[in-house]
Chain A
Amino acid sequence: DAGVTQSPTHLIKTRGQHVTLRCSPISGHKSVSWYQQVLGQGPQFIFQYYEKEERGRGNFPDRFSARQFPNYSSELNVNALLLGDSALYLCASSLSPGGNQPQHFGDGTRLSIL
């Protein structure tokens, strides 16, 4: 069975641009979460979606948005990119939301802002 897949694997943007990151969950998983991991730190929670609805939001500015599609795949959008947005963006899927279900992570999208 395929694991969580993310695209692209690497991306280079400049300040002020917009970016869209994509995630396909494990088959049968209906919940998708997004995390930002800055070098040397632990993953920071951005969003969680379940059945196409937002179920959780971390402390990120409104420049960050996401959505989940009927097939449970998800997109993370970041507008007006800043240098500080350079990070590894991780997607995780689980059967259902909350801390009671193990999350399965993709290997992330490495975003570099110049």
Chain B
Amino acid sequence: LAKTTQPISMDSYEGQEVNITCSHNNIATNDYITWYQQFPSQGPRFIIQGYKTKVTNEVASLFIPADRKSSTLSLPRVSLSDTAVYYCLVGDKGLTGGGNKLTFGTGTQLKVEL
């Protein structure tokens, strides 16, 4: 089973770049890595997804090394509103009958201060 590991918490200041790393040693060959942001009492919100190398969109970048056993979410110039829990999600093929079992990471609580 794919298992993901993230730092429990991180602190930053407004305007800084934040990098959050997720370890996923058993990622399946055809699976992508997806990052989500979650605020209290809301559902997770999609941030970015990638398979390998680097992906960038208007809010974040995702760096994935060649072995794909980890990934790093990079948030440029964070603001107070980026204070949230960030999850790394890796698609995992189920052990029985080819079903899909999707596994969230432990989540990283990012706190941004002035």
Contacts and interface: CB of A to CB of B under 8 A. Distances in A.
B interface bracket (residues with beta carbon within 8 Å of A): 20 to 34
A106 B100 contact: no
Contact of B100 (A56, A90, A102): A56
Contact of B32 (A4, A42, A43, A100): A100
Interface string B42-65: 111110010000000000000000
A57 interface: yes
Nearest to A100: B32
Given A45-B103, A56-B99, A56-B101, A100 B91 contact: yes
A77 to B, nearest CB: 19
Contact of A48 (B31, B90, B102): B102
Interface of A: 4, 33, 35, 41-45, 48, 54-58, 88, 90, 92, 97-100, 102-108, 110
Interface of B: 28, 30-34, 36, 41-46, 49, 85, 87, 89-92, 94, 99-107
Instruction: Report the 5 A-B pairs with minimum CB-CB distance, sorted nearest first.
Output: A99-B91, A105-B43, A99-B31, A56-B100, A56-B99
